[in-house]
A = this chain, B = another copy of it.
């Protein structure tokens, strides 16, 4: 597979109506073009989670789903920079901030290109959701494709960095992906942006914590739904903190 980018480095989405509001409620909310102007005057703009959805789906979950949380089938992706804690002890904070910005931007572009949303950003890590609010039946496959793009774009961008010490290895990213039922909604009385919780989310996070730089660890459930994408991946048996049974993950490594 070519190492060239399949997405624009700063693409900002292209949907003219909010794909989340359309998929969830069949209501057309203009987010681009002249029809979007009156909405913008009322504070309804493109979401930071994905530029093809709007702030109604981002912040008005109760209004969109008529409940404070709902069960949904989704694929959850976690990614973070391997060795970031170690690095953060060694280099200037200004350099760290460049690395984090570069990582977050590259990941977001890859996730958006496959209709996922960047639900949480936490320093050198993030959590993405596929299949909500933009519906994608092939959400397992979409998440793996996003992860391959993340690995490709981050390897390019992070590999170019000079980290100073001769002993420093180039930075890499670890990704974990799991598919299943999650609870999506608002889980505090003071914030209205939605998130996903449940065992599915925690397993995805645990898989990510075990991924080496350059690796995408995929759960058996995601692999089974992803068809040929994970068919040839090596299996790795993992014992994960808080999970009783060992998990036979598939290890997908970016192809250059």
B242 A86 Cβ-Cβ under 8 A: yes
A199 B104 Cβ-Cβ under 8 A: no
Partner of A121, one of B88, B101, B188: B188
User: With A43-B43, A190-B48, A199-B89 known to touch, is A122 a contact of B122 (CB < 8 Å)?
Assistant: yes
* A85 on interface, CB distance cutoff 8 Å: yes
- Interface flags, A42-70, vs B, CB<8A=1, else 0: 01000010010000000000000000010
The size bracket of the interface on A is 35 or more
User: With A84-B202, A202-B88 known to touch, is A48 a contact of B192 (CB < 8 Å)?
Assistant: yes
Closest residue of chain B to A48, judged by CB?
A: B191
Closest residue of chain B to A185, judged by CB?
A: B97
User: With A97-B183, A197-B96, A197-B100 known to touch, is A83 a contact of B242 (CB < 8 Å)?
Assistant: yes
* A1 on interface, CB distance cutoff 8 Å: no
- Interface flags, A212-256, vs B, CB<8A=1, else 0: 000000000000000000000000000001111000000000000
B105 A189 Cβ-Cβ under 8 A: yes
In the complex, A127 Cα to B100 Cα: how many Å? Answer: 17
Which residues from chain B contact A122 at a C-beta distance below 8 Å? 120, 122, 127, 195
Secondary structure at chain A's binding surface: helix, strand, loop or mixed?
mixed
Which residues from chain B contact A244 at a C-beta distance below 8 Å? 86, 89
- Report the minimum CB–CB distance from A192 to chain B (whole Å): 7
| A51, A83, A195: residue with the most chain B Cβ atoms closer than 10 Å | A195
Partner of A104, one of B83, B94, B187, B242: B187
* A124 on interface, CB distance cutoff 8 Å: yes
Which residues from chain B contact A187 at a C-beta distance below 8 Å? 97, 100-101, 104, 121, 123
User: With A93-B181, A183-B94, A198-B93 known to touch, is A101 a contact of B242 (CB < 8 Å)?
Assistant: no
Residues of A within 8 A of B (CB): 10, 43, 48, 51, 69, 71, 83-86, 88-89, 93-94, 96-97, 100-101, 104-105, 108, 118, 120-124, 127, 181-183, 185, 187-192, 195, 197-199, 201-203, 206, 241-244
The 8 closest A-B pairs by CB, nearest first: A85-B242, A104-B188, A93-B183, A88-B199, A85-B202, A100-B187, A86-B242, A48-B191
